[in-house]
Amino acid sequence: MRLKDRVALITGASRGIGREIALTFAREGAKLVLVAKTMEPHPKLPGTLPEVAREAEELGAEVLVCQCDVRDEEAIGLTVRSALNRFGKIDILINNAGALWWRPVLETPTKRFDLIMSINVRASFILSREVLPSMIENGWGHIVNMSPKVDLEKLPGFTGYFISKFGMTMLAQGLAGEVKDKNVAANALWPVTAIDTAAVRNYGVGSEEMWRKPSILSDATLELVCKPPSEMTGQALTDEEVLKSVGVTDFSKYAVVEGTEPPPIDWIQEKVRS
């Protein structure tokens, strides 16, 4: 019960990585604020907030479900206030909700650019700002943004998307410096390989032997938020780096297809560009 009495707010919690983090945290005793838009089943996207809430409750977690479009600042404010009214604090924020658009600039309409910016970086900024007073007041907090290390070589062909994702990483690194004396950590976390999610499947990116299970990210996230906030902050980390820091060297259990070793995530860009 490594997260006993901790309160974690997780966005994009209705499926995929968000769901896996929620269930991992539930097993470790956390109280959960589950945030997403999906309340009713979608024909192409499995998973709803009520379903994840039931799974977490079966694991013993106390759960608050908040339907929220993270593009809506007022909805974010209501969500944070509801969490504070219910649990009295927020210890952990996982900015996991995200929008994909793997296209070059000439194929990126302004409407699509605004969408990925509003969901990826803008929502993460607002959520971080809104939960910080609680973390600072209690002298403890972790903010984790699901975003990669800033690498300008990744930009071509994915420019709009990586502007938004690098923005999330810069948010974590800048914020870490602002609250380093408040015992609040802010870090970015990203997978080394492609992760088996609905988005990856819908985009038709490779096949199952090229993917890892979402549990590698949930396990890495758990290890990250279990560290003292002053121990690691302002970093852009990979799932493997975090797990190796606690002695994990065998990642075979995370392969979707047993006995395979998924390639680095960079191959996605080469595939899409070609």
Q: What is the pLDDT of residue 38?
A: 79
170: which residues sit within 8 A by CB, 6+ positions away? Answer: 150
Q: In 3-state terms, what secondary structure has residue 64? A: strand
Task: Please give the pLDDT value at position 273.
Answer: 65
Q: Which two tokens stand for residue 80?
A: 């944070």
> Running DSSP on this structure, what letter comes out for residue 196?
-
Burial track 124-160 (b if 16+ CB lie within 10 A, e otherwise) = bbbbbebbbebbeebebbbbbbbbbebeeebbebbbb
User: What single letter denotes the amino acid at residue 179?
Assistant: V
Type of residue numbered 175: L
Q: Rounded CA gap, 49 and 72, in Å? A: 18
Over the Cα atoms of the chain, what is R_g? 18
User: For the purposes of burial, counting CB atoms within 10 Å of the CB of 115, is it exposed (0-12), middle (13-18) or buried (19 or more)?
Assistant: middle
Catalytic hit among 25, 161, 162, 254: 161
140 in Cβ contact with 89 (< 8 Å): no
Supply the pLDDT for residue 271: 66
pLDDT at 216: 98
Backbone angles phi, psi at 104, to 5 degrees: -70, 175
Q: CA–CA separation, 259 vs 274, rounded Å?
A: 28
Q: CA-to-CA distance for 26 and 9, rounded, in angstroms?
A: 12
pLDDT tens digits, the chain, 274 residues: what are they? 999 999 999 999 999 999 999 999 999 999 999 999 978 877 777 889 999 999 999 999 999 999 999 999 999 999 999 999 999 999 999 999 999 998 999 999 999 999 999 999 999 999 999 999 999 999 999 999 999 999 998 899 999 999 999 999 999 999 999 999 999 999 999 999 999 988 788 777 778 888 999 999 999 999 999 999 999 999 999 999 999 999 999 999 999 999 999 988 877 777 666 6
Check: CB of residue 189 under 8 Å from CB of residue 92: no
> What was the pLDDT predicted at 17?
97
Please give the angle made by the CA atoms of 257, 221 and 183, to the nearest 5 degrees.
170
pLDDT at residue 205 in the model: 74
* Residue 264, burial from CB neighbour count under 10 angstroms (0-12, 13-18, 19+): exposed
**pLDDT confidence of residue 272:** 65
Residue type, 249: T
Domains and CATH numbers, the chain: 7-273 (3.40.50.720)
- How many CB atoms sit inside 10 A of residue 100's CB? 17
pTM of structure? 0.96
Structure tokens at 192: 């080394």
Within 103-229, strands assigned E span 141-146, 184-190, 194-195, 211-212
Spell out the alpha helix ranges (H) of 179-265: 198-203, 215-226, 239-244
Whether 161 is a known active-site residue: answer yes
